[in-house]
């Protein structure tokens, strides 16, 4: 087989390499480093970045890129509730938003969008700010934040500035960020007593679906008449950017919420959008489904007391993040971490991802399935949180505690989850099994007797090509002992 780049399939071509990783110890240091290394690419959860790098062809003349690693900075990982707003730091993950129920109804609307992003493993890593900086119109949280009239807080060495999120997006994957600027947080106005809202999504499957259409709706009602006084409806994944539907907002103002209003408003929304054709849906389908979805969403706002906040397994997001032992890493740097309670030290080398590093230096049975965070075969726990190791930069594992499938059992016996998989014949070809077992163990640690719905939600990030889901669900449906005995 020829190794000429032009003759290789894109999956065989070497992507852009990570040459250096800068790990600031504080936000102020991050700002200084961003100014000193303006070409450095900021990264937190890295779930989008590593995919982008893998898909970018290698420049023969380049030595690789430099990352500015913001993951785990304490100043960035907080949700602060003030008198008039809620501030979400740039390191706040989607699972963190999901877990923080009841902070403010505005955050509950954002929570609806976070629930639909990826899988529990991805949501343990992916951040809300990362979702907006990536600036894809298919990114679910953007329509929620646009409808919420959020503000993006941006820092640089020259000072702070705030940009309304509706002016932050300049085009497809194009934002208002300037050279050496970093997004520190997102500010969301708190809701008044007469504010209601919801968020919707249409996808082609029930989990890990890229949206065909998503939308955030926020309405303010007149206290006396219940007529709409303000309407913000943002619709995404139908065109290059996400914006508020002006015609729909104008129509709703002054009108009561009822079936007639909902139907007419939805028709206006579908007529106003300029939908695209792509692999997920045609323009005609997007227009049709937008009308149906917006009408149903408006109807759902009739009885806000009947709505219930969904819950979902988090698979361990709340466990603390490790402090970086070294602040400047290269491919020659030796990473040291605890893997299954044993200390392992080895250079990063060419292993850009934690999965590659583990398979090279630990000899683990953790598998590479898709290398895109879709299949879950590479699931491990990192500082207690289940993650897809194919989307974790190796440098971010420095100083961490990792558990792979080999770490689930003791010398004397299998973990109860493993034993149940054997008892119920929940293994077919076995390729997906290591990831399923690690995710199932994290689920069992969180919920001792999960329901079938909780099992399906908790394992939504794990795919089985043998269609072995029934036996896997059956293996976990029965109560497992909480003391590790069987």
Place of tokens 């500035």: 161
Phi first, then psi: give them for residue 475, nearest 5 degrees: -65, -30
| Rg, the chain, Cα only | 23
Dist CA 34 CA 39 (whole Å): 8
Q: Write the CATH number of the domain with boundaries 15-72+321-403.
A: 3.10.20.30
CATH class of 408-477: mainly alpha
Region 78-306: CATH code: 3.30.465.10
Domain residue spans of the chain: 15-72+321-403, 78-306, 408-477
Q: What is the rounded CA–CA span in Å between residue 458 and residue 454?
A: 6
Query: pLDDT 10s per residue in the chain (486 long)?
Result: 445 555 665 556 677 889 999 999 899 999 999 999 999 999 999 999 888 888 876 665 566 899 999 998 988 999 999 999 999 999 999 999 999 888 899 999 999 999 999 999 999 999 999 999 999 999 999 999 999 999 999 999 999 999 999 999 999 999 999 999 999 999 999 999 999 999 999 998 888 889 999 999 999 999 999 999 999 999 999 988 898 889 999 999 999 999 999 999 999 999 999 999 999 999 999 999 999 999 999 999 976 555 567 789 999 976 566 665 567 888 889 999 999 999 999 999 888 899 999 999 998 999 999 999 999 999 999 999 999 999 999 999 999 999 999 999 988 899 999 999 999 999 889 999 999 999 999 999 999 889 999 999 999 999 998 877 899 999 998 755 555 444
- 79 CB contacts (<8 Å, ≥6 apart)? 86, 87, 88, 89, 92, 96, 97, 100, 103, 107
């Amino acid at each position: 087989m020829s190794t000429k780049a032009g003759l290789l399939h894109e999956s065989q071509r070497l992507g852009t390499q990570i040459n250096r990783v800068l790990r600031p110890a504080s936000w102020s240091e991050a700002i200084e480093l961003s100014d000193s290394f303006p070409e450095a690419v900021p990264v937190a959860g890295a779930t989008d970045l590593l995919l982008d790098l893998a898909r970018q062809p290698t420049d023969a003349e380049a030595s690789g890129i430099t990352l500015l690693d913001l993951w785990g900075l304490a100043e960035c990982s907080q949700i602060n509730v003030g008198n008039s707003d809620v501030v979400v730091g740039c390191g706040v993950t989607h699972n963190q938003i999901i877990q923080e129920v009841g902070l403010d109804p505005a955050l509950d609307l954002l929570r609806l969008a976070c629930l639909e992003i990826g899988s529990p493993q991805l949501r343990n890593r992916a951040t809300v700010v990362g979702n907006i900086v990536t600036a894809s119109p298919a990114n679910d949280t953007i329509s929620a934040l646009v409808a919420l009239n959020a503000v993006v807080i941006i820092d640089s060495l020259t000072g702070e500035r705030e940009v309304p999120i509706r002016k932050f997006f300049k085009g497809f994957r194009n934002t208002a960020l300037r050279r050496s600027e970093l997004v520190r947080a997102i500010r969301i106005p708190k809701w008044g007593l007469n504010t209601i809202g919801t968020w919707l999504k249409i996808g082609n499957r029930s989990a890990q679906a890229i949206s065909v259409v998503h939308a955030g709706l926020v309405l303010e009602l007149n206290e006396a008449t219940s007529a709409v006084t303000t309407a913000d409806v943002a619709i995404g994944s139908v065109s290059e950017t996400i914006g508020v539907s002006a015609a729909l907002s104008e129509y709703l103002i002054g009108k009561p919420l009822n079936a007639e209003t909902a139907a007419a408003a939805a028709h206006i929304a579908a007529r106003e959008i300029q939908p695209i054709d792509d692999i997920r849906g045609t323009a005609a389908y997007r227009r049709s489904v937008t009308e149906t979805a917006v009408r149903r969403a408006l109807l759902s706002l009739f009885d806000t007391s009947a709505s219930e906040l969904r819950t979902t397994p988090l698979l361990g997001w709340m466990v603390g993040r490790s402090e970086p032992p070294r602040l400047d890493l290269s491919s020659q740097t030796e990473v040291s971490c605890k893997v299954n309670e044993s200390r392992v030290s080895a250079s990063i080398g060419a292993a850009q991802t934690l999965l590659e590093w583990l398979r090279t230096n630990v000899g683990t049975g953790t598998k590479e399935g898709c290398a895109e965070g879709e299949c879950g075969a590479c699931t491990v726990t990192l500082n207690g949180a289940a993650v897809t190791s194919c989307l974790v930069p190796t440098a971010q594992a420095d100083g961490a505690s990792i558990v792979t499938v080999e770490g689930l059992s003791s010398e004397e016996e299998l973990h109860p989850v493993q034993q149940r998989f054997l008892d119920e014949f929940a293994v077919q070809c076995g390729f997906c099994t290591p990831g399923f077992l690690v995710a199932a163990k994290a689920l069992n640690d969180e919920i001792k007797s999960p329901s079938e719905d909780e099992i399906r939600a908790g394992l939504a990030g794990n795919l089985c090509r043998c269609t072995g889901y029934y036996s896997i669900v059956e293996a976990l449906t029965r109560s497992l002992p909480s003391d590790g005995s069987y």
